[in-house]
Amino acid sequence: MSFDGLGVPAVQGDTAPRAHRWHRVDRPDRLRGPRSQVPVPVEILAVATATPARKGNQQELARHVCSMRPEFAEWEDLFTRSGIETRYLSVPVEWYEVAHSWAERMDLHRDHSLDLFGKIVPQLLEQSGLTLEDIDALVLNTTAGISVPTLDALLINRLGMRRNVKRLPIYGLGCSGGLAGLVHGSYLARALPGSRVLVLTVDLCSLAIRPDDRRLVNFVATALFGDGAAGLIVQTPAVSSEVAAHVDRPACLPRVLAAGEHLWEGTEGVLALSMTDDGFQMDLGRQLPELIRNGFATALNAFLDEVQITRDDLDGFLVHGGGPKILDGVAQALGLPPQALARSREVMRDFGNMSSATILFTLERAVEAGVRGRHLLVAFGFGVSAHFAVVDL
């Protein structure tokens, strides 16, 4: 038996498209960009995370799901072989036993997301020594829920933030969205010197699980995804001196030295969400690990060349724990030893794949552990795309 994608079994007769020409993706002329000077570093003043209160044991979740769908009992070991031990869920497991409407799912995602942000923002303000009045811009990312007005507008009203806060909602990037938030938050901080930029991301993936979706890929998604939210505050160093007098802050803050992204050509169908009558349908392409193994190093080298950093300048890697195949693919592509992605695997073990929030959980864990040196943050999302950030911890 072979396993592809994010752990999807290679089922006999599977007709998923596989004829992606990776050599076209890696053509050097498609990767060249303007050679830029290394930009002004952006300081990370604070990082915080939050999960729903419900903690699920992976083995217990496996038994519950297989009792609902006995036809998948033979695949139960997908849960135990995922490297995941616990995950956090926004609703009780009984919620998944019946069908739910789009409206119910989106309302739950909106309400639970705002509650999690209500926990994260005070943590960020306490760590940074700032107040809500000090926040000049808000970048907010999500994919698992749709809300109009967007979550950033709702949050500004709920928290009583300034009326002139600059807003940048980001939607649809999937697992790379949290890192994209840091990337674009860094761009804003550089474009608006002296501004403090609040970056938030949330994906409550469990709310997308549909009991009537009897595809094996849905069963696999049920084994991997959990719920979580995360946030950061970033700024350019220009304002450090003016707050130093009244803020007790570490002398050496983590700094974003460079940031960027890459979109692989012709890969729209490899990783996608489809809209059905009662919610999202997850499409996890079996080709994703192959794309990472064969195409990631070239894309990464193009980014590092553009920002004038070499792989020898890097002291470590923090990678989005999308699944064991994703982490294994990155390690193989870069020739990394097994322990190189230990923190990424720890976060996946303790929380599962929380989509966009996962990479910031990994960053938080590294900061709390006192990790030092230049680290490459990487996350993969819909497109297929990758976002990069070189952070000096």
What is the per-residue pLDDT across 59-88, written as a single tens digit (0 to 9) for each? Answer: 777 666 666 666 666 656 666 767 788 889
Mean pLDDT value of segment 284-305: 88
Q: Worst-scoring range by mean pLDDT, 54-58, 173-177, 195-199, 353-357?
A: 54-58
pLDDT value for 18: 29
* pLDDT over 50 (residue 35): no
Integer Cα distance of 229 and 178 in angstroms = 9
pLDDT in tens, 104-147: 989 999 999 999 999 999 999 999 999 999 999 999 999 988 88
Per the model's pLDDT, the better-predicted residue between 206 and 17 turns out to be: 206
- Which of the four pLDDT bands, split at 50, 70 and 90, describes residue 40? confident
Helix and strand numbers (H, E) in the chain are: 13, 15
* Helix H or strand E segment including 186: helix 177-191
381 or 121, which is more confident: 121
Predicted pLDDT of residue 38: 46
pLDDT at 223: 74
Whole-number pLDDT of residue 182:
97
Query: What pLDDT, on the 0 to 100 scale, is given for residue 118?
Result: 97
Output the pLDDT for position 340: 93
**At 190, is the pLDDT very low, low, confident or very high (cuts 50, 70, 90)?**
very high
Residue of 65, 171, 162 lying closest to 113 (CA atoms): 171
CA distance linking residue 129 with residue 108, whole number of Å: 32
Residue 2 confidence (pLDDT): 36
Mean pLDDT, the chain, whole residue set: 82
Q: pLDDT tens-digit profile of 315-335?
A: 999 999 888 888 999 999 999
Domain 42-235 fold: Peroxisomal Thiolase; Chain A, domain 1 (3.40.47)
Predicted local distance difference test score (pLDDT) of residue 64: 65
> Would you say residue 214 has pLDDT above 70?
no
Q: How far, rounded to the nearest angstrom, does the alpha carbon of residue 377 sit from its chain's CA centroid?
A: 11
How far apart, in Å, are the Cα atoms of 144 and each of 67, 84, 113, 213, 376? 26, 21, 10, 17, 26
Average pLDDT over residues 31-42: 57
For residue 41, what is the DSSP state? P
Q: Residues 221-257: pLDDT tens digits? A: 767 789 999 999 999 985 544 444 444 445 578 999 9
CB 270 within 8 A of CB 159: no
* Residue intervals in the chain for CATH 3.40.47.10: 42-235, 255-392
pLDDT digits (tens, 9 = 90+) for 264-294: 988 887 776 667 777 666 776 677 888 898 9
pLDDT at 213 over 90: no
Helices 102-128 & 151-159 angle (0-180, nearest 10):
50
Q: Which of 41-55, 165-179, 272-286 has the lowest mean pLDDT?
A: 272-286
Predicted local distance difference test score (pLDDT) of residue 376: 97
Alpha carbon distance 223, 277 (integer Å): 23
Considering the domain 255-392, what is its CATH architecture? 3-Layer(aba) Sandwich (3.40)
